[in-house]
Chain A
Amino acid sequence: MTWRPTALNLSFLTVAGWALLLAVLTGRAELAIVAVPPIVALVAGWRAAPPPVWRMERRLSASRLLEGECVTVTSTIRAEGPLPLLELLEPLPARTRLAGGRTHAFFTLRAGEEIRWTFELRGSARQYLRLGGPHARLWGPLGLAAAETHHRARATVAVYPRLAPIRHLPRPLRTQPFVGNYASAAQGEGIEPGDVRPFAPGDQIRHVNWRATLKLGTLHVTQHHREQNADVVLLLDTLSEVGPDGETVVDVAARAAAALSGAYLARKDRVGLIEYGGQPRWVKPGTGRVQRERLLDTLLNASVVFTYVNRDLDLVPPRILPPQALVLALSPLLDARFVRAAGDLAARGFDLVVIAVSPVAAARAAVPRTPVADLAARLWALERRAQLDEHRRRGLTIVEWDGTEPLDAVLAPLRRSRFRRRLAG
């Protein structure tokens, strides 16, 4: 850290030079006298000694956030020697907004004095919010000299996709043998009453249906439906993306995946994730809070990776994609590879629901509003509707979501249609 002259020296030299030049031209001593204070200031502002030492410690109020939440960054600055003017600037990371305080500040500290600098950052999109540490500048007298350094205090805050509540979840057609929230067709232990049948040796007395017994004259028992859970696999399309930074279709799909995984895990289902993109990654289905964290961490890193290598869902091991699982595909359906993979899954008998995240609104937000752009967006929306109808005719269950309306409202009609399908099946 060394002192360097600033542009203000030029200003002082300019006015001093003008004063002296005019003194020579006019022969008036007053003008030479006018030049003296700027020259004295230039000498007074000259710094040769090394800048004073100061220390800084930084604390963050959280290391994990949801989109839209704030983290408070508190820096404690302690001066070993007097600091006439200390300037600090923390560059604002991308996809982050300032929620409170300022990221640019000036302080004056006496020797041994301690001061706190606080500002609040709001993570506006899923990301690892990386703070590199503030740039610091010490100013000499009048701002004629400055010494600059970068205080390296790296910190990372994980900003997870925000979790919207979902009540109307697509109900899996098939269940697993583990205990859960779905009343299965199989009879067994549970609280959901099923058929009434004559008493058989081995039946428990508490299952006796006294009303039927008195009516029919022989002992009858009530059977119960077994309550089981299901496997749910979220298939996230990261082959293509459109839209403005932080609001791309992948961001919207990741948000939906986070909300769906949270809702299914709350119902004791096993939830897994497959990121189907240039670099496929997956999370084995599981339950509990650890699984939730694992899924959120994977969703945080979900991004489009370009590659010429074509990978297929056949590569995914069966333990990651169990045959009985409900597969929820989140995709803009822009890439033919994903459409083909979804078609393959449906043909293999998977219980597949495609949540088609509309790229039209996202692309519309990324371009300026002009009549031509409006017309193009309308044409694209029509073309897309025709494509989705074609996929539906081929047997895919597709719901279209524009990313702005609540996902719950989009999934509610699906729940009714699947219930009818389950009754029919």
Chain B
Amino acid sequence: MIRLGAAVLLAALAALPVSVMPSPPVTWLAAGALVLGGAGVIARVVPLVTAGASLGLIAYALALVIARPPMNAVGASALGATLVLLLALAHFAGRVRGAALGPGVVAGQLRQGLAVAALGGGAAVALTAVAVALRAALPGVALPVVVVTAALGALMTVAGVIVLVASGGDPSAPPGR
């Protein structure tokens, strides 16, 4: 059931780039994302799901570059929220493998995931609104600001990955092992 939910989210993630630009390169990339992520969902391997999600993002970026559609902030926020839910569900499916689940565990996790995803989506929409307001106030500055912020964010994520890997020991491994 948990994996079915993750599979549906993955399908939605792969379908979005194709809906933006149904061209062969985008479709092939989306199909690759679906296969890779699907294998991760079935085998409950989060890194595979992450790779599939990243490939889906690349397909989405390619679709945006080729099609050059008008900006869709809500769709992008929904995609971000879908990514959060997909990764959280895949991780949860891996953790509870072969375990007994007490009453309300799945419902509680779903509630929690939806709340965080909604919070993220809401934050994205709010930030977009702020950015639109800023663009109106400071015309011509928006793109460099976006680029610099994104570059800084990318650098920080790389730093975060390095810190996490260097800290060693994965507490999400089965307990007591």
Contact = CB atoms under 8 A, between A and B. Distances in A.
Interface of A: 4-41, 44-45, 84-85, 87, 89, 91, 101-102, 104-108, 115, 117, 135-137, 139, 141-143, 146, 148, 150
Contacts of B103: 108
B175 interface: yes
B112 A141 contact: yes
A41, A84, A137, most chain B CB atoms within 10 A: A41
B124 A33 contact: yes
Contacts of B19: none
B52 to A, nearest CB: 10
B57 A142 contact: no
B116 A141 contact: yes
Interface stretch (B3-11, B22-30, B88-96): B88-96
A403 B146 CA distance: 78
A152 to B, nearest CB: 12
Given A20-B154, A37-B81, A85-B108, A8 B88 contact: yes
B50 A9 contact: no
Contact of A150 (B88, B121, B176): B176
Interface string B119-148: 111011001100100000000001100110
A86 to B, nearest CB: 8
Given A17-B154, A37-B119, 5 more contacts: A11-B49, A14-B161, A31-B61, A34-B76, A39-B120
A9 B80 CA distance: 15
B161 A17 contact: yes
8 contacts: A5-B167, A11-B91, A13-B161, A16-B157, A33-B80, A34-B60, A102-B99, A137-B175
B92 A143 contact: yes
Contact of B87 (A11, A21, A39, A102): A11
B12 interface: no
Q: Decide if the interface of chain A is mainly helix, strand, loop or mixed.
A: helix
A22 B169 CA distance: 30
B95 A87 contact: yes
Contacts of A89: 174-176
A83 to B, nearest CB: 10
A143 B95 contact: yes
A53 to B, nearest CB: 18
Nearest to B90: A11
A34 to B, nearest CB: 4
A20 B151 contact: yes
Given A44-B116, A84-B112, A148-B171, A31 B60 contact: yes
Contacts of B42: none
A15 B127 contact: no
- 3 closest A-B pairs by beta carbon, nearest first, are A37-B120, A17-B157, A135-B176
Contacts of A28: 61, 64-65, 71
Nearest to A88: B175
A105 B175 CA distance: 11
Contact of B84 (A6, A21, A31, A41): A41
A8 B164 CA distance: 10
B50 to A, nearest CB: 4
Contact of B80 (A4, A36, A105, A117): A36
Contact of B172 (A6, A18, A25, A45): A6
B98 to A, nearest CB: 6
A291 to B, nearest CB: 41
A410 B165 CA distance: 64
B39 interface: no
Nearest to A146: B171
Contacts of A27: 143, 146-147
B80 A37 contact: yes
Given A15-B83, A20-B154, A104-B99, A142 B112 contact: yes
Contact of B116 (A7, A40, A146): A40
B139 to A, nearest CB: 15
Contacts of B49: 11
A28 B131 CA distance: 13
B154 A37 contact: no
Contacts of A136: 175
B83 A85 contact: no
A17 B150 CA distance: 9
B60, B64, B72, B100, most chain A CB atoms within 10 A: B100
Contacts of A142: 84, 88, 91, 112-113, 116
B15 interface: no
Given A17-B154, A135-B175, A30 B64 contact: yes
Contact of A24 (B50, B95, B154): B154
A36 B124 contact: yes
Nearest to B126: A36
Contact of B54 (A14, A20, A24, A102): A14
Contacts of B61: 22, 25-26, 28, 31
Contact of A13 (B124, B160, B167, B172): B160
A271 to B, nearest CB: 43
Contacts of A34: 57, 60, 76-77, 79-80, 83, 124
A23 B157 CA distance: 14
A153 B11 CA distance: 46
A29 B131 CA distance: 10
Given A24-B150, A85-B109, A108-B104, A31 B76 contact: yes
